[in-house]
Each structure stands twice: as C-alpha cells, then as structure tokens.
Amino acid sequence: MGITGRDVFLGRVRDALGRSPGAPELDGATHIGLAVEDVRRSADDVRREMSESGDALLDAITESAAMAGWKVRRVASPEDAADVVAEICSEAGATNVLRSDQDVFASIPVDAALESKGISPGVATVGGAGDDIPTLKQAAFDADVGITGVDYAIAETGTVVLHPRKGLSRLVSLAPGRHIAILNWGDVLPSLDELFTLERADFNDDAIHGSMNLISGPSRTGDIAAKIVEGIHGPFEVHLVIVG
C-alpha cells in the first residue's frame, strides 16, 4: 500500500479529533504502559500460581470444561490417559485417526494404545500424513478423529489453548468430526487475563507464535430458529482427557 494513503488517513483522524501527533498521556485504563520487567514479573507470578495451585486449577477446569461442552475424563496415569483416548476412538467407530506431533505423545503412549485397538494413527504434519499442505488438508478433512495436546487450559472458561506451529497443524483440531485434547497437570491458567499476561511476556521476548486458538467446546450454531446445534463447521464432539 502507499504510505501516502496511510498518512492522509491518519491526518484525517487527527483533524477529526483535533489532536496533534505524538504519544498519548496514559491514564491507567489500558495495560499498554506496563514496563517489560513488570510484565515479566507478572508472568512469573502466573507460572508460579499454575504449579502452586495446580490441583485446584485442575479441579476447576474439570467442572468448567464440562459446562463449556467438553466430554471430560479425568485419569490418574499416562497409561490410563492413552487407554481412554483409544477407547473414545474405538467407541466412535473411528478408523482414520490423526494426531499432532507434540511432546505430549512422548509421555502418553497414545499410539500403542490405538494400535492395540487395531487403529494406526497418522501424524498431521507435512511429511507425515501429508506430502504437502494440500494433502495434509485433505487428510485432516478425511479424519474421523483429531488428537492434540494442550498448550494451556483456562479454568474460568473451560478453554483449551493451542498455538499452531511445527508439529501442530491448524486443522487437526478443527476439520475432523471429533477432537480429543490431552491436558496435563500444571498447564491450567486461572482466567483469560493470565493467558494474555503470558502471551504479552512472550511477545516482549519476541517469542510469540503466528496464531493462537482458544477452543471452548464443540462447534455450535443457533442460526436456525435460534436452536443450538453442535457441529456446524468444526468438531461436533470434543473430549478433554485430564491427567492428574
């Protein structure tokens, strides 16, 4: 775009406001004025709370996730978690299962549990289930179930947070009819505010991801006669397997 366009536009905004260029005086309404060190300190506090209150936060999200529409299963061990995942897939009659390539699958033996039910999962990566982006997309749309870990979860809202990146396709939690998310102890945040504190600290450190998805239950619509129906574009069924 032409820089002139921008400058003319901004000039008009200033004229309408009767304002001269320059930084505004901050009145404390927005967080924009917080110093980098303060944000970092808040982020450290958030991380401390996530582990110090780990049990309570896991209890809280067990409840709020169910309210948001997740089918919640809480298990004690990684092996149990893997078995529950395999059970959900086989009960759904799934033959085509896709999972992300996240660390969680190193500690939770999902592949082995699925194999024991005769399901061999694909890995939703370019070079895995797809040769390139279009074939990966096709694989995601063809899958019956998509399985992912969880970057964070939010107790306030029953939300699972995912940052798409290498190993974590945007579509694996979206295109299959069912999504299973596996949540470990210590990854639960109290509320949306703590999530954005951490995001901002990452942003200040130049470590922010290209995008972020907050997922709180199944895909829903109320657009026909105001009746809530689940599964319009995304998954019609979502499972949260909580370990701990």
Partner 1 sequence: MLPTTDRFKKGAKETLADPVIQMSMEAVYTGFHTNRQSAGSATEDWDGQRDRGRAIKEHTIANLDYYLEMLTDKIDGNGGNVFFAEDSAAATEYILNLARARDVKTVIKSKSMVSEEMSLAHEMEAVGIEAVETDLGEYIIQLAGEAPYHIIAPAIHKSQDQVAEMFSEMTGTDPGQTPEELTTTARGVLRETFQRADMSVTGVNFAVAESGSIVLVTNEGNGRMCTSIPRVHVAVMGMEKIVPSMQDLGMMLRILIRSATGQRISSYVTMINGPRRDEEEDGPEEFHLVIVDNGRMKLLADPKLREALYCLRCGACLNACPVYRKVGGHSYGWVYPGPIGAVVSPVMSGLQQGKDLPFASSLCGACREVCPVRIDIPNMLLHLRQKVVEGPPEERNIGRIERLGWKAWRFGNMNSNRFHAGGKIAHFLGWPFARKGMFSRLPPPLSGWTRSRDLPIPASSPFRDRFKKRQSGGGE
Which residues inside 165-194 make contact with partner 1, applying CB under 8 A? 165-171, 174, 191-193
Tell me the C-alpha distance between 99 and 164, whole Å: 13
How far is Cα 119 from Cα 153, in angstroms, rounded to an integer?
28
How far apart are CB 76 and partner 1 at their closest, in Å?
A: 28
Q: Based on the shown chain and the rule CB under 8 A, indicate whether residue 56 belongs to the binding site for partner 1.
A: no
Q: Indicate which single residue of 12, 51, 63, 120 sits in contact with partner 1 (rule: CB under 8 A).
A: 12
Contact between 5 and partner 1 per CB under 8 A:
yes
1 CB-contact burial (10 Å; exposed 0-12 / middle 13-18 / buried 19+)? exposed
Our finding on whether 121 is near partner 1 (CB under 8 A) is no
Token output for 80: 């149990």
Identify the H or E element spanning 153: strand 152-154
Is residue 67 within the footprint of partner 1 (CB under 8 A)?
A: yes
CB of 147 to partner 1, least distance (A): 15
User: Least distance in Å: CB of 100 to partner 1?
Assistant: 9
Determine the Cα–Cα distance for residues 107 and 241; give it in Å rounded to an integer: 14
- Which one among 72, 197, 239, 243 touches partner 1, defined by CB under 8 A? 197
Binding mask 200-239 for partner 1 (x = CB under 8 A): x--x----xxxxxxxxxxxxxxxxxxxx-x-xxxx-----
Q: Are strands 229-230 and 159-162 parallel, antiparallel or unpaired?
A: unpaired
119: left (phi over 0), alpha (psi -120 to 50) or beta: beta
Nearer to partner 1, 57 or 113 (CB): 57
Q: Of residues 23-52, which lie at the interface with partner 1 (CB under 8 A)?
A: 23-24, 26-27, 29-32, 34, 39
Map the footprint of partner 1 across residues 74-113, applying CB under 8 A. none
Residue closer to partner 1 by CB (options 56, 133) is 133
State yes or no: residue 133 binds partner 1 (CB under 8 A): yes
Any contact of residue 160 with partner 1 (CB under 8 A)?
A: no
Instruction: Write out the two tokens for 56.
Output: 């309570």
Interhelix angle 54-68/36-52, nearest 10 degrees: 90
Structure-token pair, residue 209: 């991801």
